[in-house]
Amino acid sequence: MTETNVWRRCSTCRKDLAYKSGYYRCSVSTCNKKRTALYFCSVPCWDAHRAEANHRDAWAEEETAPTEEEWAEQRNATTRKASPKAKSGPAAKPPMVPPTPQGKVKTEVLVVASRFNAYVSQRSRYKTTESVLYPLSDHLREVCDEGVAAALRSERRTLMDRDLAPLFEGQDTGGEPESEKQVLVVVTRLKAYVKASSGMNTAESAVVVLSEHLRYLARRAIQEAGRANRTILLDRDVTAVLTGGRGEG
């Protein structure tokens, strides 16, 4: 399957989900939140998630992915909804025309693996599997989409820290000195995603906020692994944090 035919990836096995293909969603509402929605290529993959999330009363719901044209229209509708309406009166300022998305949206890994792994090791001596990078990257894309909507409401064409910070209210900063904090985001890929999906630019301040958020998620995932008596971070730990569930050993 070519990259351009990919709509989503299975949240369990990371298999590509093509446009117009069948897939499954979890019936539990917390697994279908906008920024943390999960998608499964098969019932066994959903069943693996059900066991990890400790769902007691849940089932797999069969769905069909949109066509590429339908998906583009959905994204455009979100952009139009986020755009501010013109004020009435002679002095009303015309609404900003949203920038045009540029290019194909790629579902690449957006986390610097070596730095993320080093941070986890520094905080816990735990090891990290490559699989954690996929749900984290999907989450970053969802977060950026919401940040873009906030920027449009403020009539800006650049994604900034102020657009993202409200999404992360209440998260602790870990207590590390600012001088020791590294950028954990693959900057070129993140900026390319935002540009391709929305036509907007991305400020360096947004990258800093997203890196801080990744450190927060790492600390929470470490706690999940510890509760399961493991010394290795798995994707199920990250998924549990993002969905508010609880991973298993």
In this structure, which topology does domain 113-243 adopt according to CATH? Histone, subunit A (1.10.20)
* Percent share of the chain, pLDDT over 70: 84
Helices (H) and strands (E) in the chain, counts: 8, 8
State how beta strands 22-26 and 60-64 pair.
antiparallel
Kindly give, in sequence order, each residue whose CB lies less than 8 Å from that of residue 79, ignoring residues fewer than 6 positions away: 98, 148, 149, 152, 198
Q: Do 176 and 192 touch, CB atoms closer than 8 A?
A: no
Mean pLDDT of the residues in the chain: 84
Region 216-225: mean pLDDT is: 94
Question: Quick check: 59 pLDDT over 80?
Answer: yes
Instruction: State pLDDT tens for residues 93-141.
Output: 555 555 555 556 667 899 999 999 999 999 999 999 999 999 999 999 9
Kindly list the domain boundaries of the chain, sorted by start residue: 3-65, 113-243
Question: pLDDT at residue 192 above 80?
Answer: yes
Q: Going by C-beta distance under 8 Å and a sequence separation of 6 or more, which residues neighbour residue 153? A: 82, 83, 84
pTM: 0.64
pLDDT at 148 exceeding the cut of 90: yes
pLDDT band per the 50, 70, 90 thresholds, residue 88: low
CB atoms within 10 A of CB 61: 13
